[in-house]
Amino acid sequence: MSSVFYRDPGSTYPTATRAEGMYIYDDSGREYLDMSGGAAVSCLGHGHPDVVRAVQEQAEKLSFAHTSFFTNEPQEDLAARLAARFSEKDAKVWFTSGGSESNESALKLAWQYWRAKGQPDKTIIISRQFSYHGGTLGATSISGSVFRREPYEKVLHDWPRIAPCYPYRNKLEDETDREYGHRAAQELDEAIRLAGPENVAAFIAEPVVGATLGVVPAVPGYFEEIRRICDHHQVLFIADEVMCGSGRCGTFYVHDQENVRPDMVSIAKGLGGGYQPIGAVIARNFICDAIRDDTSAFAHGHTYIGHAIACAAGVAIQKCLDDGLLASVTGKGEHLMTLLNKRFADHPHVGDIRGRGLFVGMEFVSDQKSKTAFPVEQGIPGKLKNAAMRNGLICYPGGGTVDGRKGAHLLLAPPFIAEDQHFEELADRLDKMLHSVFSG
Ligand SMILES: Cc1ncc(COP(=O)(O)O)c(C=O)c1O
């Protein structure tokens, strides 16, 4: 009987004992093709020698020196690399140990910024429905995912949430993408006006929605309009790139593809690639300046921020990205998308295949034409996960795609080292898995 309080206390899990490249192995020797990096974490696959060496070498030199007392070389190096990738000079990098901490930090930075500017009433954070920004209380408060909020609803902040930009379900037939994007963004304008701009601190959204909707990029122009509305009302714009960022969509920061510059960007997952728990907030210089001029410190922190080994792993990953891996993401993603369309677009229960770079989603429906979702009681996401594991495939199924409860999708986030043969193998295993869920 295990003493572990498992994620799902009613489930048992195989014991992972070893991993190499694209595969994880359990204690019975079973092999799993890792096509989602768990939850979009493994950008370099497993056991990458450069990262393993960097971690080992750093552990021998210096593991930890508290950041209230010291800085360290890997922290400085990684911050400089992340700031240099940002589109504005002199951005500052605040390290964390994961995505939830990054978003919590971004919220506190926003509140402290407005306090420093003499507007302490600007506290409301507007976000979007069906979103996930993390498991801590602040991050759950800004998350729109219905079932993830439900048990904690009484203790969460109930700030306004607008509809996501979700063309498959929300774009009208006679609308162009631009018209739809413009209409969807106006919800933010209305929400800010209703709350009073003098009370709104920030708007947060994922440039490409990950876990909750199954990889949904916005239509062109949507985020440009969002940026314009935020500027108009003096509201900060936070891009949550925890899942979609760090190169997964083909550029290190996803917002660059939307022609906008957020005021803060949260990242994690691919930043440490599963080798170390690390995240970060990239904040524009004006935010840091205001806080420094006002109180001389940011009243926030966690023990492990800027951890030397975690940052050393991050630096090694940045070097691998620059060595050609990041440049390969778009081409590999196009290849994967072509293959998935060829093999599954005609499947009667595949409603949509969508994505960007090596970030791909499939949405499942009971009827392709009407886009009707399966009844919740059929438990399609759970069946997809079990069937995937049985067929030696790690992918990331989810539910609530349509209205927070109904709907099912699957997320694929292959490591950037994936080659053609891995995509073929994925399609074969996916085929078997879909057959056992929908025809079995
Ligand atoms: C968009 C987004 N933000 C934040 C988080 C929370 O990150 P973490 O689980 O590292 O705390 C996640 C996790 O899946 C996420 O997908």
Contacts of 379 (CB under 8 A, 6+ apart): none
Adjacent-strand bridge partners of 396: 411
d(CA 214, CA 230) in angstroms, rounded, equals 26
Q: Which atom of ligand 1 is nearest to the CA of 244?
A: 1
Q: 100 CA distance to ligand 1 centroid (A)?
A: 6
Instruction: Tell me the residue length of the chain.
Output: 440
Share of the chain above pLDDT 90, in %: 97
d(CA 430, CA 411) in angstroms, rounded, equals 12
Q: 8 CA distance to ligand 1 centroid (A)?
A: 18
Nearest CA to ligand 1 atom 16: 243
Adjacent-strand bridge partners of 20: 23
β-strands 279-283, 216-217 pairing: unpaired
pLDDT digits (tens, 9 = 90+) for 403-419: 999 999 999 999 999 99
Find, among 75, 112, 83, 69, the residue nearest to 300 by Cα: 112
pLDDT for residue 245 is more than 90: yes
> What pLDDT is stored for residue 295 in this prediction?
73
Tell me the mean pLDDT in the region 30-59: 97
From 95, 100, 265, 278, the mutation candidate for ligand 1 (largest count of ligand atoms within 8 A of CB) is 100
Confidence tier at 325 by pLDDT (50, 70, 90): very high
Residue 172: exposure state from Cβ atoms within 10 A (0-12, 13-18, ≥19): exposed
| Ligand 1 pocket residues where CB is under 6 Å | 39, 98-100, 103, 132-135, 206, 210-211, 240, 242-243, 268
From 130, 133, 304, the mutation candidate for ligand 1 (largest count of ligand atoms within 8 A of CB) is 133
Q: Give the CATH architecture of domain 51-318.
A: 3-Layer(aba) Sandwich (3.40)
**b/e map 7-43, b = 16+ CB within 10 Å:** eeeeeeeeeeeebebbbbbeeeeeebbbbbbebbbbb
Q: 172 CA distance to ligand 1 centroid (A)?
A: 31
From 136, 249, 269, the mutation candidate for ligand 1 (largest count of ligand atoms within 8 A of CB) is 269
pLDDT digits (tens, 9 = 90+) for 253-276: 999 999 999 999 999 999 999 999
Nearest CA to ligand 1 atom 13: 134
Q: 256 CA distance to ligand 1 centroid (A)?
A: 20
> What pLDDT is stored for residue 1 in this prediction?
86
Tell me the mean pLDDT in the region 178-184: 98
Show the tokens assigned to 439: 């025809």
Confidence tier at 197 by pLDDT (50, 70, 90): very high
Q: Which atom of ligand 1 is nearest to the CA of 279?
A: 10
DSSP string for 237-265: EEEE-TTTTTTTTSSSSGGGGGT---SEE
> What pLDDT is stored for residue 402 in this prediction?
94
Q: What CA dihedral angle connects 176, 165, 379 and 140, to 10 degrees? A: 180
Domain 16-48+327-438 CATH superfamily: Aspartate Aminotransferase, domain 1 (3.90.1150.10)
Other beta carbons within 10 Å of 339: 15
In three-state secondary structure terms, 33 is: strand
pLDDT digits (tens, 9 = 90+) for 344-400: 999 999 999 999 999 999 999 999 999 999 999 999 999 999 999 999 999 999 999
Fold agreement (16-48+327-438, 51-318): no
Whether the Cβ atoms of residue 16 and residue 30 lie closer than 8 Å to each other: no
β-strands 216-217, 208-209 pairing: antiparallel
Show the tokens assigned to 254: 């996803």
Q: 102 CA distance to ligand 1 centroid (A)?
A: 9
Nearest CA to ligand 1 atom 9: 99
pTM score, whole prediction: 0.98
Find, among 133, 143, 138, the residue nearest to 123 by Cα: 138
From 242, 248, 249, 359, the mutation candidate for ligand 1 (largest count of ligand atoms within 8 A of CB) is 242
Q: 11 CA distance to ligand 1 centroid (A)?
A: 22
Confidence tier at 297 by pLDDT (50, 70, 90): confident
> What pLDDT is stored for residue 141 in this prediction?
98
Q: 24 CA distance to ligand 1 centroid (A)?
A: 22
d(CA 218, CA 106) in angstroms, rounded, equals 22
d(CA 37, CA 176) in angstroms, rounded, equals 35
Q: 439 CA distance to ligand 1 centroid (A)?
A: 33
Alpha helical stretches, state H, 130-172: 137-141, 146-149, 167-170
Q: Which atom of ligand 1 is nearest to the CA of 269?
A: 10
d(CA 223, CA 219) in angstroms, rounded, equals 8
Share of the chain above pLDDT 70, in %: 100
Confidence tier at 291 by pLDDT (50, 70, 90): very high
d(CA 52, CA 367) in angstroms, rounded, equals 47
Q: What share of the chain is helix, strand, coil (3-state, %, to 5)?
A: 45, 20, 40
pLDDT for residue 296 is more than 90: no
Show the tokens assigned to 41: 């974490």
The ranges assigned to domains in the chain are 16-48+327-438, 51-318
d(CA 259, CA 180) in angstroms, rounded, equals 18
What is the rounded average pLDDT for all residues in the chain?
97
d(CA 43, CA 20) in angstroms, rounded, equals 13
Find, among 429, 401, 265, the residue nearest to 340 by Cα: 429
